[in-house]
Amino acid sequence: MPEIQFREALRQAMVEEMERDETVFLMGEEVGEYNGAYKVSEGMLARFGPKRIIDTPISEAGFCGLGIGAAMCGLRPIVEFMSWSFSWVAIDQLVNNAANVRYMSGGQFRVPIVFRGGNGIAHQLGATHSHRMDAVYSRIPGLIVVAPSNPYDAKGLLKTSIRCDDPVIFLESEMMLNDRGEVPAEEYTLPLGVADVKRTGSDVTIISWSKCMKYALKAAEMLEAEDIDAEVIDLRTLRPLDEQTISQSIRKTHRCVIVDEDWPYCGMGAGILEKVYQHCFDDLDAPVKRVCSEDVPSPYNHYLELQMQPNPEKVVAAVKEVCYR
């Protein structure tokens, strides 16, 4: 299979779906003339023209509302956020409108729209550009939340998201856009709501998604040298959550560590932890541990920024704590 960058996988997904379906279009800040803030949409303006690759003003509330209206009228918009931190100024459109229109109209209106862009802590972008929006949108009925960790999953999940008749929150990490991975040249899609066991094991279940999957997989390698056999689950979709795959793994390993980039209080990992206790309490031989970011605004200083985030060493320490109780 060809090996391509994460950003190329996203671009391939959008190009293929736009060629397949003329109702699909892309809009957002700098997606056209500038080829995308992170070059995800590079070359798409020349290929599809300004009616389908639309540069917007710096007004997230405005172009999100426009996209939702277009979706209600039968189109399939892809709305790019330069950063998911900027979605705070459009949250009424996403949470009050996109999530509720189909329900409140009794199914008369569908809202087939994908909101996508960079989520989480990148590199010295400061507190206002480093929000992790996983838990913010995963708690909202009516929204689907997707968070891929590699190019193969990103392409397959984005294609499925574009075809979905409900609004999809598609969370990418700017720190993964250069990551490379094998992606088939032929057509494929991946189902929403289905987790993937990236590594099988028998001693402990490590649950993660998106950028933190790197830490989970690296920690599993480090633990193998110490005779701890870790199973690693990539959730891929945060809502709906694949509770069955999680439960099956924990009933086998009897221990669990959750790795996420969110804050500790009311973060995404805390919501998953509640599900684990709800379904697997009697199967656990140790309390569930969570490795997440420190409960502080994201620092601009590079070394402080790294210190406040999860890393493989923190994951290893958490696993040892649950395994050696």
Annotated catalytic residues are 60, 129
Q: How far is CA 266 from the centre of its chain?
A: 18
**DSSP 3-state percent helix, strand, coil across the chain (nearest 5):** 40, 20, 40
| Cα–Cα distance for residue pair 206/290, rounded to 1 Å | 10
Q: What is the DSSP letter of 200?
A: -
Phi, psi of 298 (to 5 degrees): -65, 120
| Cα–Cα distance for residue pair 216/213, rounded to 1 Å | 5
| Cα–Cα distance for residue pair 121/36, rounded to 1 Å | 19
| Cα–Cα distance for residue pair 81/88, rounded to 1 Å | 11
Tokens found for residue 66: 């426009």
Beta strand 204-208 with 256-259 is parallel
Q: How far is CA 67 from the centre of its chain?
A: 20
Q: Is the dihedral of CA 38, 42, 46, 47 positive or negative?
A: negative
Q: How far is CA 24 from the centre of its chain?
A: 21
Q: Are 105 and 66 in contact (CB under 8 A)?
A: no
Q: Are 67 and 40 in contact (CB under 8 A)?
A: no
